[in-house]
């Protein structure tokens, strides 16, 4: 931890102390885990980490989040959210994340109210320059963003998390399963389960950081560049596993893994104009 990071963390701690009581939207990723760690360190029982459980949360991510909270001794609970039941979310326009966060904050509101607490999320400084419609829902619901307010970037949060011995310090980003669906492909519980199972099947074959992007009948696999050649060697096993889950076509993206690759389509004028009526980010 360098001097600048230390100063930012001290500012964060001061901000948390001023809040007095907080409910942290805790997904198990590095940002929300670091925020939960700071909040529990400062506020003790006045801090509550809440994990939203729905078909869009993978089994692996839920298990990891619960295990970390238990290991750290955080005040933690899970709640069910029903964003997939919202047509605005399920139709999967470019504003899908707005409706996800709107649902989350509606569920967290009575919990925070009962505790006389504020809701806080792990938005970091880098997120402010990215395509994240959920920020609008946060503003509308007066949700706090302490990490961004303290000027903490993703890289700084990773270093600060490592200094706290949080095992997620170097964890790759792992957004919800709905992020695997191409815009316009309807999000359903069955589809989310299929993507979850597809990614687990690839992990069982020894692949690490990956995404299975759902384009309807077609599965587009993104792997780290160093694993693409091995995937070619295992193409028969991969195709059999994913076809068994209902995909008719299985493809390997030669550009490799890149977070948010489906947002690339939003930069194409024709596509953007087609989804413009539903876009709000």
Mean pLDDT by 10 residues, the chain (281 residues): 84 96 97 98 98 96 97 98 97 94 98 98 88 88 96 96 97 90 93 97 95 95 95 96 97 86 52 44 33
What architecture is domain 3-163?
3-Layer(aba) Sandwich (3.40)
Instruction: Give the integer Cα–Cα distance in Å for 259 and 281.
Output: 18
Instruction: Give the integer Cα–Cα distance in Å for 153 and 149.
Output: 10
Looking at 3-95, list the stretches that DSSP marks H as alpha helix, in order from N- to C-terminal side: 3-19, 30-43, 59-72, 87-90
pLDDT at 5: 86
Instruction: Give the integer Cα–Cα distance in Å for 150 and 5.
Output: 10
pTM score of the predicted model: 0.87
Angle (CA) 179 185 186, round 5°? 90
pLDDT at 258: 75
Structure tokens given for 146: 């302490």
Q: Hey, which CATH number is domain 177-258, 3.90.1690, 3.30.300, 2.115.10, 2.40.128?
A: 3.30.300
Contact between 138 and 145 under an 8 Å Cβ cutoff? The reply is yes
| Region for 249 from its dihedrals, namely left if φ exceeds 0, alpha if ψ lies in -120 to 50, beta otherwise | beta
pLDDT at 260: 59
pLDDT at 254: 93
pLDDT at 263: 56
Contact between 98 and 137 under an 8 Å Cβ cutoff? The reply is yes
Query: Residue ranges of the domains in the chain?
Result: 3-163, 177-258
pLDDT at 267: 46
pLDDT at 264: 56
What residues pair up with 53 in beta bridges, in sequence order? 80
Instruction: Give the integer Cα–Cα distance in Å for 94 and 73.
Output: 37
Closest CA to 199 of 24, 17, 58: 58
Closest CA to 60 of 188, 169, 186, 210: 210
What residues pair up with 119 in beta bridges, in sequence order? 23
Structure tokens given for 252: 């390997």
pLDDT at 248: 97
Backbone angles phi, psi at 240, to 5 degrees: -65, -45
């Amino acid at each position: 931890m360098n001097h600048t990071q230390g100063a930012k963390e001290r500012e964060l701690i001061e901000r948390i102390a001023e809040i007095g009581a907080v409910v942290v939207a805790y997904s198990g990723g590095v940002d929300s885990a670091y925020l939960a760690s700071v909040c529990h360190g400062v506020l003790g029982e006045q801090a509550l980490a809440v994990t939203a459980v729905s078909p869009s949360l993978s089994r692996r991510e839920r298990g990891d989040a619960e295990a970390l909270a238990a290991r750290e001794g955080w005040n933690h609970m899970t709640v069910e959210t029903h964003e997939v039941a919202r047509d605005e979310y399920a139709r999967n326009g470019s504003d899908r994340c707005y409706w996800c966060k709107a649902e989350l904050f509606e569920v967290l509101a009575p919990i925070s109210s009962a505790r006389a607490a504020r809701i806080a999320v792990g938005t970091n400084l880098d997120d402010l320059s990215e395509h994240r419609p959920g920020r609008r829902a946060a503003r509308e619901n007066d949700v706090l963003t302490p990490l961004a307010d303290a000027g903490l970037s993703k890289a700084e949060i990773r270093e600060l998390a490592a200094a706290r011995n949080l095992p997620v310090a170097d964890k790759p980003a792992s957004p919800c399963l709905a992020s695997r669906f191409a815009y316009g492909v309807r999000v359903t519980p069955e589809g989310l389960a299929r993507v979850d199972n597809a990614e687990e099947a690839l992990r069982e074959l020894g692949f690490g950081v990956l995404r299975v992007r759902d384009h309807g009948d077609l599965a587009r696999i993104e792997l780290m560049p160093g694993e693409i050649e091995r995937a070619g060697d295992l193409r028969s096993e991969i195709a059999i596993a994913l076809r068994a889950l209902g995909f008719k076509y299985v493809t390997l993206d030669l550009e490799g893994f890149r977070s948010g690759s489906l947002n690339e389509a939003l930069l194409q004028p024709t596509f953007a104009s087609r989804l413009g009526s539903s876009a709000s980010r």
